[in-house]
């Protein structure tokens, strides 16, 4: 899967078919995350960075080192805009991006697990495309609304639990242990 294929599928098979404004949840897969405009990084050549600065009408000198050019770029950081987010907005939808490594915040992961389990239990030695496609279709169709609802409720519980944990962590006061003898209130003073 690459960004071009995904974006075409996303527009034709999802965005155009949603009948009301929706929130679409994405993980951080690279094909979901193509940016409209790349921002210079240390992997860019000096010439590429200079061209970017020139296009943005940002002052730079030919004698600047690459590190100086990158510093100039950093002072004019642009907000990252994802192609898929802009596509969704065009159709009246919004993309919600999950934090990296937090797929457990997406109910589709549980539903996908149910579908894979069904497929694996019913898969035979037949590997022709028509049989495989038919079994996947059956795997997805066997997931009923009540199962979706349960997966969503479970995911919501995980999100609430994570939020409550963050609140507790936020309230933990730092424990500071001084190893010098200055300003010690707990030491017995000599008399």
- Which regions of the chain are under pLDDT 70? 181-191
The pLDDT value given to residue 148: 94
The pLDDT value given to residue 168: 80
Q: At what angle do helices 107-122 and 145-171 cross, to 10 degrees?
A: 140
Distance (Å, whole) CA 6 – CA 95: 15
Q: What is the DSSP string of 100-113?
A: TT-GGG-HHHHHHH
Q: What is the DSSP string of 134-147?
A: HHHHHHHHT--HHH
The pLDDT value given to residue 185: 55
User: For residues 1 and 31, is the Cβ–Cβ distance under 8 A?
Assistant: yes
Q: What are the pLDDT digits (tens) for 28-55?
A: 889 999 999 899 999 999 999 999 999 9
The pLDDT value given to residue 7: 96
The pLDDT value given to residue 127: 81
Distance (Å, whole) CA 93 – CA 17: 12
Phi/psi of residue 106, nearest 5 degrees = -120, 115
Distance (Å, whole) CA 129 – CA 151: 30
Distance (Å, whole) CA 137 – CA 123: 12
Distance (Å, whole) CA 40 – CA 21: 34
The pLDDT value given to residue 175: 77
């Amino acid at each position: 899967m690459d960004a071009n294929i995904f974006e075409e599928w996303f527009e034709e098979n999802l965005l155009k078919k949603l009948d009301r404004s929706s929130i679409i949840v994405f993980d951080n897969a690279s094909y979901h995350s193509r940016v409209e405009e790349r921002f210079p990084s240390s992997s860019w050549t000096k010439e590429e960075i200079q061209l970017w600065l020139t296009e943005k009408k940002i002052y730079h000198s030919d004698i600047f080192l690459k590190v100086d050019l990158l510093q100039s770029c950093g002072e004019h950081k642009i907000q990252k805009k994802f192609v898929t987010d802009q596509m969704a907005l065009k159709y009246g939808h919004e993309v919600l991006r999950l934090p990296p490594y937090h797929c457990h915040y997406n109910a589709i992961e549980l539903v996908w697990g149910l579908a894979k389990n069904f497929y694996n239990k019913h898969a035979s030695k037949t590997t022709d495309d028509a049989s495989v496609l038919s079994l996947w279709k059956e795997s997805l169709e066997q997931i009923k609304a009540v199962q979706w609802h349960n997966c969503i409720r479970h995911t919501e519980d995980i999100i609430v639990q994570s939020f409550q944990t963050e609140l507790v962590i936020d309230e933990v006061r730092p424990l500071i242990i001084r190893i010098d003898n200055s300003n010690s209130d707990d030491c017995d003073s000599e008399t």
